[in-house]
Amino acid sequence: MDIKRIILLLLIGSNFCFSQKSNYKLIWEENFNSEKLDETVWNYELGDGCPNICGWGNNERQVYTRNNHFVKDGNLVIQVRNEQNTYTSTRITTKYKKQFQYGRIEARAKLPLGKGLWPAFWMLGSNISEVHWPKCGEIDILEYVGREPNKIFTSLHTQESFGNTINTKITDIKGIEEGFHLYAIDWTKDKIQFFVDNQLLYTFSPEIKNESNWPYNQPFFFIINVAVGGDFGGNEIDNTIFPQEFLIDYIKVYQ
């Protein structure tokens, strides 16, 4: 395929994404323009997950605190540190405060770097307290692990997969660690599509939908965090990298 055809196909795909977005209206945005995190929107999840889900269900090694983040220059900054051989980070959610069903959801973010880090922007079904995970469903809009450079993970977890990551796509994106990038989903009653910088990466749309494979017919809330180590982050942690920062410029929801 010649270079002109490749460029044309890229432009067509990009224009399609923008035309889809143009059908939506912005209904909510978080621009992190205040001096501190807005606690009418965000909750803190603290500690190491114990006693309920020690290691947050993945044998992670970080402890979440209220002191590992700040807002600066219109960005939420989650700073991951190694403090006297204890890894500290931040995990925040919008549970009970902001939840959404369907639409275009996007976040502009800059990744932290280094082996052992696992930043994520993701969503859980708002009924998690009643039906628990994975029956509530999970949408991983952005996952990155430092042991796998140049790769972005976009995934869904359902009861049908018993929580395992079978509905997923791993995409090589050269330069993804450099600067800010746009991570998004387009979520309808029929399908969920995942995008990075307006390029379609993965579509999930089971032909026959039921409560085991399609818990995505209800509101979901946001989670932002950086984990350290664990089953997915990896056992090898480079202690020379700390501190590292995960920057989120904004989150926007269109419907």
| Catalytically active residues, by annotation | 138, 143
**Distances, alpha carbon 217 to alpha carbons 32, 103, 220, 232, in Å:** 29, 12, 9, 28
Per the listing, tokens 């889809």 go with 20
Q: List the helix and strand counts (H, then E) for the chain.
A: 3, 18
DSSP reduced 3-state for 7: helix
Long-range own/partner contacts, residues 40-48 (CB < 8 A, 24 or more apart): 40/97, 41/94, 41/97, 41/98, 42/92, 42/93, 42/94, 42/97, 43/92, 43/93, 43/94, 43/95, 43/96, 43/97, 44/90, 44/91, 44/92, 45/91, 45/92, 45/93, 45/225, 46/91
Tell whether the torsion through CA atoms of 20, 250, 141 and 197 is positive or negative: positive
Place of tokens 């114990």: 50
